[in-house]
């Protein structure tokens, strides 16, 4: 059977780190509140003009090196992001040029924190259709540029960075077994950046109302996230005639340690089968799964033929899951 196999992973985060204590000096919060409610201790923040394409490029180089292929072997580059360098052109086109991936088509995909899963699912469909053989899929964000550092309910959560995978068409049982994608636009106003688009273009008024920053009703998002992620995970397992016992590692979107714990409990997964790095990166949105996947891979937490469950949830609202035979 023709499948998409991950033949390389990579990631990149900026060097600058903001610790929980740093926030105590400019918003009404505490290290204790942040760590107990979210599991986050520190996050990496862009500086010196670095932006989404910078981290994407570095993550891509590392994934290509592991894959052992040259950039001009790529047929397509997809970047899942909600914080592109600019509204146009796409981050994927900047990365295509930086890599000199001259044969590759390139586009961005917007699905909030589910962006990487959506992008990987689209790439998988291209590969299984026979249209493309090698695809670079990136999840990348510079959410610090869209974060309101006067709003304690959101500013402590987000971090910057990128993760990348190289998918290759291969015959056999290993690779992406299935992906399941979901959306419910009725929940759009729970998590959004209301200003700066065609509805409310940048103006003096929109700037004064801080409309170009992330707004989130975190508690409502939390409740929908737990229920939806459970459903997505169970649907993926059922579709493949598998159960929670078959999973070797859960690599979840890193938004809140309590959400990941709830899913792990529902699937009866012991802690050693749950990958977590939220403590060090915070919520990096579309970058969080590929950064976690790259770390798990490089730490040898994933072995050949392991069954890996990915799940993510984000603005849209969107959510989804993927099962991979490594
Ligand atoms: O990745 C995309 C999808 N996003 C998510 O999955 C995020 C899901 N949501 C969450 O992770 C959690 O809802 C948060 C971490 C965002 C918030 O945790 P919570 O336990 O849901 O807190 P809450 O929003 O119910 O707020 C509880 C209290 C409030 O104070 P009052 O009204 O009870 O006096 C907040 O104002 O905590 C207050 N609060 C804070 N206090 C100290 C909110 N943020 C902070 C803060 N420091 N940073």
Q: What is the pLDDT of residues 228-286, one digit of tens each?
A: 999 999 999 999 999 999 999 999 999 999 999 999 999 999 999 999 999 999 999 99
The answer to whether the beta carbons of residues 254 and 158 sit under 8 Å apart is: no
Angstrom distance (rounded) from CA 4 to CA 323: 12
Beta-strand runs (E) in 74-160: 76-80, 105-109, 134-141
Whether 253 is catalytic is yes
Q: Residue written as tokens 């960075």?
A: 161
Q: Does residue 255 have its Cβ closer than 6 Å to ligand 1?
A: yes
pLDDT tens column, 217-230 = 999 999 999 999 99
Cα separation, 126 vs 145, in Å, equals 33
Question: What integer is the mean pLDDT of 117-145?
Answer: 98
The residue whose CB lies within 8 Å of the most ligand 1 atoms, and thus the one to mutate among 183, 222, 255, is: 222
Confidence of residue 300 (pLDDT cuts 50, 70, 90): very high
Percent of the chain with pLDDT over 70: 100
What pLDDT does 208 receive? Answer: 93
Q: Is 97 a catalytic residue?
A: no
- Residue pLDDT, tens place only, 65-105: 999 999 999 999 999 999 999 999 999 999 999 999 999 99
pLDDT per residue as tens digits for the range 147-181 = 999 999 999 999 999 999 999 999 999 999 999 99
Residue tagged active-site, from 253, 256, 277, 297? 253
- Give all domains of the chain, ordered by start, each with its CATH number: 2-173 (3.40.47.10), 177-325 (3.40.47.10)
Q: Which residue's C-alpha comes closest to atom 41 of ligand 1?
A: 29
CB of 214 closer than 6 A to ligand 1? no
Could you tell me the pLDDT band of residue 290, with boundaries at 50, 70 and 90?
very high
- The whole-angstrom separation of Cα 249 and Cα 290 is 14
Determine if the pTM surpasses 0.75: yes
Closest ligand 1 atom to residue 217 Cα is 24
Catalytic residue among 93, 113, 155, 277: 113
The two tokens of residue 154 are 């959101």
In the block, tokens 């990136």 appear at 138
Helix or strand (DSSP H, E) at 303: none
Q: Is 277 a catalytic residue?
A: no
Q: Is 312 in the pocket of ligand 1 (CB under 6 A)?
A: no
């Amino acid at each position: 059977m023709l499948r998409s196999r991950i033949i390389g992973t990579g990631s990149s985060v900026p060097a600058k780190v903001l610790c929980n204590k740093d926030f105590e000096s400019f918003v009404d919060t505490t290290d204790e509140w942040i760590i107990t409610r979210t599991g986050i201790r520190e996050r990496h923040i862009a500086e010196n003009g670095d932006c989404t394409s910078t981290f994407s490029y570095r993550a891509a180089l590392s994934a290509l090196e592991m894959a052992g292929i040259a950039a001009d072997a790529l047929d397509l580059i997809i970047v899942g992001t909600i914080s592109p360098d600019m509204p146009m052109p796409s981050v994927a086109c900047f990365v295509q040029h930086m890599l000199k991936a001259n044969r590759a088509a390139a586009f961005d995909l917007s699905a909030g924190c589910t962006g990487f899963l959506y992008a990987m699912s689209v790439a998988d469909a291209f590969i299984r259709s026979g249209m493309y053989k090698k695809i670079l899929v990136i999840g990348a964000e510079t959410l610090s540029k869209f974060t309101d550092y006067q709003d304690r309910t959101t500013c402590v959560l987000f971090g910057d960075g990128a993760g990348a995978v190289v998918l290759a068409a291969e015959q056999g049982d290993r690779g992406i077994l299935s992906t399941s994608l979901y959306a419910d636009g009725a929940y759009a106003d729970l998590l959004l950046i209301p200003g700066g688009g065609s509805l409310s273009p940048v103006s003096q008024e929109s700037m004064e109302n801080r409309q170009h920053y992330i707004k989130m009703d975190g508690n409502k998002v939390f409740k929908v996230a737990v229920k939806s992620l459970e459903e997505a995970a169970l649907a993926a397992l059922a579709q493949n005639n598998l159960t929670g016992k078959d999973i070797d590692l859960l690599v979840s979107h890193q938004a809140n340690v309590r959400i990941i714990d709830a899913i792990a409990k529902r699937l009866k997964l012991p802690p050693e089968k749950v990958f977590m790095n939220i403590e060090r990166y915070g919520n990096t949105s579309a970058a969080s799964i590929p950064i976690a996947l790259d770390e798990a891979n490089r730490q040898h937490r994933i072995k050949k033929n392991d069954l890996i469950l990915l799940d993510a949830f984000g603005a849209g609202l969107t959510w989804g899951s993927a099962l991979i035979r490594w």
